[in-house]
Structure 1
Amino acid sequence: MSLHVRQARLSALSLAVLAGPMSFGIAGPALILGEVADGLGVSPATATWLVTVFGWGIAVGTPLMSGLVGHRGVRATAALCGLLVLVGSALALVAPSFPLLLAGSAAQALGAAGLTGLAMHLADSPRRMGMATASLAVVGSVSPLVGSLVSDLLSWRVVLALPVVAVLAVPAVLGHARQEPSPGRFDATGAVVLTALVTALVFVPHQPVVAGIAAVVVAAAFALHLRRRPDGFVPAVLVRSPAFLGAAGLAFALAVGNFALIYALPARLTELTTWTSAQIGVAMVWPLLFGGGLSWFVVAASARMRPRLLIAVLVVAGFAAALTAAFTGWAFGLLAAQAAASIAAASGQGVLAVRATAAAPEEHRAAAIGLFNLCYLLGTAFGPAIVALLVSA
C-alpha cells in the first residue's frame, strides 16, 4: 500500500499529544488501585487486573493497529483508534461493575496503542521520534501524582479516563494524511495467531504453567504460518533480522525494569518512610520526569553518537537500577534507581526504535514499528505483574 502523509505539516506537538496520554493508562492507577478496589468492592489484587488488561490491550493493539495502517491507511486507523479510546474512557466513567470496567480498559488500551504507534510511524527523524517517545516518559513521570490528585479532587474514575486526552490530536492526523486503497489481502490468520501469542505471553506471570504451554503451542503455529505467508501480517524478514530482534529484545528488558519499579516503589517507600500517598507521588515525579525529559536529548543526539556505545550505556544503566532497587534500603537510593531506569527505558525506546526500523525494508516500516512497540509494551504488562507476584509470595 502506498501512503502519502504530509508529515512536515503534522507538528511535533501533535505527535506528543497523540502518543503521551497512553502513559496515563499505564502509570496513572499506580497510587489509586486501593480506591478502585474499595469503589467496586473487589480486592486490591483483583484491582491490579486493570493494569494487566491495559497492558494486554496495548500489547495486542500495537501490532494490530500497525497492520491496519498498512492495510487501510493512516486516516482510517486514526479514526478507529480515536473511537476506541472514547468508548473505553466512557466506560471508565460509568461502568457499574468490574468486568465492564475491564472491557473499557481493554478498548481504551487498543485505541491508545494505535495512536501511539501512529505517532512513531509519522516521526520521520530521530528528533521527532524522540518527541514521541519522550512524551510517553514525561506523561508517565507525572501520571502517579496526577492520578492521586485527580482522584482526591474528582474521582478515581476520571483517572482511568485520562488517556482520552490523546483524541485531541486525532483531527490533526485526519487533516494531514491521505491514503490510497490497499491492493493486498489482509492476513487475518496471522493477526489472530499473533493476538493469541501475545495474550498467552501476557498471562505467563499470572498462570506460568498453563499460559507457558499455550504460548509454546501458539508460537509453533505462528512459525508454521510465517513459512506459509512470509509477507503476511508479520513479515518474515523482520523475525529473521538479528538487528531487529536485538533492538526489540533490549527494549522489552528495559521496559520490564522501569515499569516494575514504578509499581514497586510506592510500597517500598511506604515501608521505609512515613510519607503519605501524595508525598510519595510527589517524590516519584522528579526521577521519572528527569528520565523522560533527558531521553528527548539522548534520542535526538543519537544520530551523531556511536550506536553500540550508547545502547551499552543504556543497558548498564537499566541493570544498575534493578540491582540498586533490589538491595538498597535507602529511600533516595530507590528514587535514584527509578531515575536511571526511566532514562534507560525512555531513551532506549527511541534509540532502539530508530535502529529497529532501519533494519526493516521501507514497505515493512509500519509493521516494524508495531512489532517493536509490541515488545516494549509487553514490558508494561510484565513489570507490574511481576511486582504483584513478588508481593503476594
Structure 2
Amino acid sequence: MAAPPSVTASTPAAAPAAADRAGNGGPLLALLAAPAAMGVSGPTLALPQAAHGLAVSSASASWLMTAYGIGMAVGTPLLTAAGGRRGPAGTVRAGAALLVLGAALALTAPNLPLAVAGRALEAAGAAGLNVAAFQLADRDRTGRAPGLVAIGSAMAGAGGLFVGAAVAGALGGSLGGSLGWRATLVLPLLSLLVLKPVLRLAGRAVPEDGPGRGPRPRTAALPLPLDVLRDPGFRTAAGLVLALSTVNFALLYAAPRRAAALTGWTDVETGAAASVASLLGAALSWPLIRAAPGLGAHRVRLLLAAGSLTAVALASFPPWAAMVLAGQAASSLVTAGGQGLLTGAATGRLPETRHGTAISLFNLAFLLGVAAGPALAEALTGAGPGPGPGP
C-alpha cells in the first residue's frame, strides 16, 4: 500500500517542519494512543460483575479480555490499509468510527457473544488510533515523540487496572449494577477527547493534493510487503520488539502471582503493587530514550535485550516479592523505551513512502507479543490470567 506521504515532490523543505510539528505533538499523540492500552487491563477487576450481569461463568467472561487482544492484532494491519490512501488522518477517522461502534455494542449487548463482538470492534478501532499515533510521531527523528507515545501507552496499561476498578465502583449502583462493569469495557473511548486536535495535527503533517501542491508520491501496491520484510533494519527492530513484548506480558501475568505466593497479598493488593512497579518502569524509560542518540543503535539494542533478560531472572529466581516486582519494573522500562526507540529503527532504512507499512507491521509484532506472553507464562509456570479476582 502507499504509506502516508508527509511531503510532496515540490516541497522538500516541508520535512523538517512536519517533523517538528510531530515532535511537539508527542504528548497529544500519547493521549490518543494511551486509552487503547487501558482497554487491555481496565476490565480485569470487573470481570466477576460482568460474568454475573451476562449470566455466564468467570472463565467465559474472560473472552471479553481475549477478544480485545485479538481485535487489536487484526485491526492494526486492516486499519492501516483502510486509511492508507489518506494518511494518518484517514486511519484516525476509520479507527474512531470503529471504536464508537464497538463501544456502543459493548455497552448495550444483552449477552456475551454480542459483548465480545463489541470489544473486538472497539479494539480494532483503538488499534487504528494507536497506529496513527506512531505514524505521526515517526516524523520526529529524535525518537522522542514515539517514545512519549510508548511511555504513555505503557503507563495507561499499568494504571488501567485501577481506573477500571474506580469506574466500576463509582458506577456500580447505576442501571441495576450493570453500568459499572460495562463502563470498564469502553475506556478506550477516552481517545476521542483529543480527536479534533489530532486531526488538525495530521492535516498539517500530511498535505492533501490541491492547487499549488505537487502530486502525492505513489508506489505500486505489493501483494505482500516484501520490501519491508526484507529490510535488515526492520527485521531486527521487529524481532526485538516481539521478544521484549512477549517477556513483558508474560511477566505482567506471572510475576504478580509469584509475588502473591511469596507474601500472601490479596488480589487487589497484588494488583496495586504490580501496577506501581510497571508505572515506575515505564516512567524510568524516558532517560533511556533521551540518552539513546548518544549511545548508538547497537548499544541500545544490547541494553534492551540485556534488560529484558535481567527482568526474567529477577522475577523468576529470588525468593523476595520486592525483587519479583523489580523484574516486572525492569521489563516495563525496556519495553516502553524499546517500543519508542525501535519504531525509528524499523523505518530508518526504508523510503518514506513505506514508513506507514513498516510501522503497521512493527506494531503487529508488538501485539503478537501481547498475545503470546500470557500463553507462554501459563505454559511454563501454570500461571492463570493475572492478578485479577478469582472465579
Alpha carbons of 1:47 and 1:330: their partners in 2 closer, same or farther (altered >3 Å)?
Answer: farther
C-alpha contact (below 8 Å) 1:56/1:378 kept by paired residues: no
Is the Cα contact below 8 Å between 1:71 and 1:184 reproduced in 2?
no
Q: Select the residue among 200, 225, 229 that pairs with 1:175.
A: 200
* Residues 34-91 of structure 1: CA deviation (Å, up to 9, x unaligned): 4433332333333332222211111121122222343233332211111111122222
Q: Which has the larger radius of gyration?
A: 2
Change (3 A) 1:62 1:179: farther
Contact kept, 8 Å, 2:253 with 2:383, in 1: the verdict is: no
Q: In the TM superposition, what whole-angstrom CA distance separates every residue of 1:79-104 from its partner, at most 9, and x where no partner exists? A: 11111111222223222211111111
| TM-superposition CA deviations, 1:161-191 (whole Å, max 9, x none) | 1111112222123233153498969xxxxxx
Q: Which amino acid aligns with 1:367?
A: T
Q: 1:315 matched to which residue of 2? A: 305
SS at match of 1:179: coil
Give the one of 353, 366, 374 matched to 2:356: 366
Contact 2:307–2:334, Cα closer than 8 Å, also in 1: yes
Give the CA deviation at 1:9.
4.7
- State the Cα RMSD in Å: 2.5
Q: How many residues align?
A: 349
Alpha-carbon shift at residue 258 of structure 1 (Å): 1.0
* Residue 138 of structure 1, CA deviation: 1.3
Deviations 1:200-225 (A, max 9, x none): xxxxxxxxxxxxxxxxxxxxxxxxxx
Residue identity matched to 2:100: L
Residue number among 68, 72, 75 corresponding to 1:61 in the alignment? 75
Preserved contact between residue 85 and residue 167 of structure 1 (Cα < 8 Å): no
Shift in alpha-carbon separation, 1:148–1:387, aligned structure 2, 3 A? farther
User: How far does residue 362 in structure 1 lie from its aligned partner after superposition?
Assistant: 1.1
Alignment match, 1:325:
315
The correspondence for 1:28, drawn from 19, 23, 42, is 42
| CA–CA separation in structure 1 for the residues paired with 2:277 and 2:223 | 38
Unmatched 5+ residue regions in structure 1?
A: 186-228
Cα gap change, 1:9/1:276 in structure 2, threshold over 3 Å: closer, same or farther? same
Spell out the pairing of 1:221-232 with structure 2 (5 A cutoff).
Answer: 231-232=221-222
Per-residue Cα deviation, 1:116-165 (whole angstroms, up to 9, x for no partner): 11111111221111111111111112112222232222222211111111
Provide structure 2 residue ranges, at least 5 long, that are not aligned to the other structure: 8-17, 172-179, 210-214, 386-391
For 2:44 and 2:252, locate their aligned partners in 1 and report how far apart those are by CA, in whole Å: 8
2:276 is aligned to: 286
The answer to whether the 8 A contact 1:31-1:277 is kept is no
CA distance in 1, matches of 2:145, 2:64: 31
2:166 paired with 1:149: yes
Q: Partner of 2:292 in structure 1?
A: 302
Q: What is the letter of the counterpart of residue 268 of structure 2?
A: A
Deviation at 1:324, TM superposition (A): 2.8
Q: 1:344 to 1:183 in 2, by over 3 A?
A: closer
**Contact 1:71 1:182 survives alignment (8 Å):** no
- Name the SS of the counterpart of 2:371 in structure 1: helix
Verify: 1:79 aligned to 2:69, yes or no. no
How does the TM-score come out when normalised to structure 1? 0.81
